[in-house]
A and B are shown apart, each in its own frame.
Chain A
Amino acid sequence: METLILMILGIVVAPVLGGLVSGIDRRVTARLQSRFGPPILQPFYDVAKLFGKVKVINNFWQVFCAWVYLIAAALSVGLLFAQSDLLLIFFVQAIGAVFLVMGGLASPSPFSQIGAQRELIQVLTYEPLIILVFASIFMVTGSFRIDEILNYDQPLLAKLPLMFIVLGYALTIKLRKSPFDFSTSHHAHQEIVKGVLTDYSGPYLGIIEIAHWYETIFILGICALFWHTSLVGVVVLLATTYFAEILIDNTMARMTWRWMLKYVWSVGLAMSFVNLIWLHAG
């Protein structure tokens, strides 16, 4: 019963938090560019406006994929709040990611097609890293279940500092920040227009935006596991991590997918191995 309440709480609270995070993100980004920036609630206005627009759809699959993406993202956050199994959460989240790609491929637009292919490569890049992070959490705590991980008596950050940086790569890719924002971008004008989101419009773009808020909270929730022992620790860790993301977004140029695959896999895997060897030896 308690699990169910936590799950519903997660599904209700996460989009509100995600929207606020996104609003603060836009505000801080504007300040870094010496602009004033939009109100903190701007993402909510954007999504409300999108829901008020006329529905323009290409085909049935596009609508179906947008809904599955939203449901999978919401469910993964719900399971995270309900302190379920990390592997289960991971697979539910992966379903959403794949359906976003399928929605992009369902549209005949070349921009959407290229965006979907690039999104697929992004998924391919960060999924192994997230699995490695979960595996190393298992090696430290001896469990994939979040309720048992939370009983561990010291912060995971002390034992898995490099794994946290690896998770940071996954976070940057998932948040679609530069230098990894080539499937679609938050900022205007990209070489492939809006990439995988090109043919989504009106309410369906709104659905995808909400799913994106869920995913932001999902990855930040995983980050929070690294300092679960104190509430202050969690807040400090998340604020620092997110500010670093914004800083990276504003100082980096967009790179190519080949560079991403080479760089993230080599650096990510190397860091994982070093951290796991250190864990094993120590």
Chain B
Amino acid sequence: MLKKFIDNSRAKSPWIMHFDCGSCNGCDIEVLACLTPMYDVERFGVVNVGNPKHADVLLVTGTVNPRNAKVLRNIYDQMPDPKGVIAIGACGLSGGIFRECYNVLGGIDKVIPVDIYVPGCPAKPEAIIDGVVAALAKFEGLKG
């Protein structure tokens, strides 16, 4: 019974951490917009934490380049399991319009495994919330 409660709680309390991997700030502002009274994701227990060790879901925006790939990898490794990763925006998904640049590796999934892809340029707050809810399905899937 205790295990069931923990499994249920996992889906009810996703603490998110947001990493700007070289985004133009468009997607970042939309991520922060989710926390405002207009969308209020804390209704679902979502808390925006600044510490990867406390986070369950990593939101990544922007393109990856050889410099920040190390940082992204480091942050991902610091998060304790079980964890989820959401790539946000055209750049996070594939590199977007910067895809062909000499310094761009491509999407987030070139560096760390991504669970959910949220498209858009920038992604709408509704789409981001939808992405977080979809990531929770991964936690639900852990129920034994």
Contact code string B54-96 (vs A, CB < 8 Å = 1, else 0): 1010000000000000000000000011100000000000000
* Residue in B37, B44, B50 whose CB lies within 8 Å of A190: B50
Contact code string B115-143 (vs A, CB < 8 Å = 1, else 0): 00000000000000000000000000000
User: How distant is the Cα of A36 from the Cα of B37 in the complex, in angstroms?
Assistant: 8
> Which A residues touch B47, using CB under 8 A?
46, 188
| B99 proximal to A (CB < 8 A) | no
* Residue in B6, B51, B56 whose CB lies within 8 Å of A198: B51
Residue of B nearest to A199 (CB): B53
User: How distant is the Cα of A51 from the Cα of B15 in the complex, in angstroms?
Assistant: 14
Size range of the interface on B?
20 to 34
> Which B residues touch A46, using CB under 8 A?
9, 13, 15, 45, 47
> Which A residues touch B50, using CB under 8 A?
188-190, 193-194
Q: Judging by beta carbons under 8 Å apart, are A33 and B10 in contact?
A: no
| A280 proximal to B (CB < 8 A) | no
Q: Judging by beta carbons under 8 Å apart, are A201 and B53 in contact?
A: yes
Q: Judging by beta carbons under 8 Å apart, are B37 and A54 in contact?
A: no
| A117 proximal to B (CB < 8 A) | no
Q: Which candidate, A37-45, A86-94, A126-134, is the interface stretch facing chain B? A: A37-45
User: How distant is the Cα of A200 from the Cα of B80 in the complex, in angstroms?
Assistant: 11
> Which B residues touch A189, using CB under 8 A?
48, 50
Given contacts A44-B9, A46-B45, A48-B9, contact A201 B40 (CB under 8 A): no
* Residue in A42, A44, A54 whose CB lies within 8 Å of B80: A54
| A258 proximal to B (CB < 8 A) | no
In angstroms, how far is the closest chain B Cβ from the Cβ of A254? 15
Q: Judging by beta carbons under 8 Å apart, are B51 and A56 in contact?
A: no
User: How distant is the Cα of A282 from the Cα of B84 in the complex, in angstroms?
Assistant: 65
Q: Which residues in window 88-109 of B have CB below 8 A to A? A: none
In angstroms, how far is the closest chain B Cβ from the Cβ of A260? 22
> Which B residues touch A48, using CB under 8 A?
5-6, 8-9, 13
In angstroms, how far is the closest chain A Cβ from the Cβ of B76? 13
Given contacts A49-B56, A194-B49, A194-B50, contact A37 B9 (CB under 8 A): no
User: How distant is the Cα of A44 from the Cα of B5 in the complex, in angstroms?
Assistant: 10
Q: Judging by beta carbons under 8 Å apart, are B51 and A45 in contact?
A: no
User: How distant is the Cα of A199 from the Cα of B6 in the complex, in angstroms?
Assistant: 22
Given contacts A52-B6, A52-B7, contact A194 B80 (CB under 8 A): no
User: How distant is the Cα of A33 from the Cα of B39 in the complex, in angstroms?
Assistant: 13
> Which B residues touch A26, using CB under 8 A?
42
Q: Judging by beta carbons under 8 Å apart, are A38 and B9 in contact?
A: no
Q: Which residues in window 36-73 of A have CB below 8 A to B? A: 36-39, 42, 44-46, 48-49, 51-56
Q: Judging by beta carbons under 8 Å apart, are B51 and A194 in contact?
A: yes
| A202 proximal to B (CB < 8 A) | yes
* Residue in B5, B12, B80 whose CB lies within 8 Å of A53: B80
> Which B residues touch A55, using CB under 8 A?
80
Q: Judging by beta carbons under 8 Å apart, are A188 and B7 in contact?
A: no
* Residue in A38, A198, A205 whose CB lies within 8 Å of B45: A38
Given contacts A49-B6, A198-B53, 7 further A-B contacts (CB under 8 A): A30-B40, A38-B44, A46-B47, A49-B13, A52-B9, A54-B80, A188-B47
The 9 closest A-B pairs by CB, nearest first: A48-B9, A201-B53, A52-B6, A45-B9, A188-B48, A45-B12, A35-B40, A49-B9, A45-B13
Interface residues, chain B, with chain A CB atoms under 8 Å away: 5-10, 12-13, 15, 37, 40, 42-45, 47-51, 53-54, 56, 80-82
In the assembled complex, 14 residue pairs joining A and B whose CB atoms fall closer than 8 Å, in A order, are A37-B43, A38-B43, A44-B9, A45-B45, A46-B9, A46-B47, A48-B9, A52-B9, A53-B80, A54-B82, A190-B50, A194-B50, A198-B51, A201-B54
Interface residues, chain A, with chain B CB atoms under 8 Å away: 26, 30, 33-39, 42, 44-46, 48-49, 51-56, 188-190, 193-194, 198-202, 205
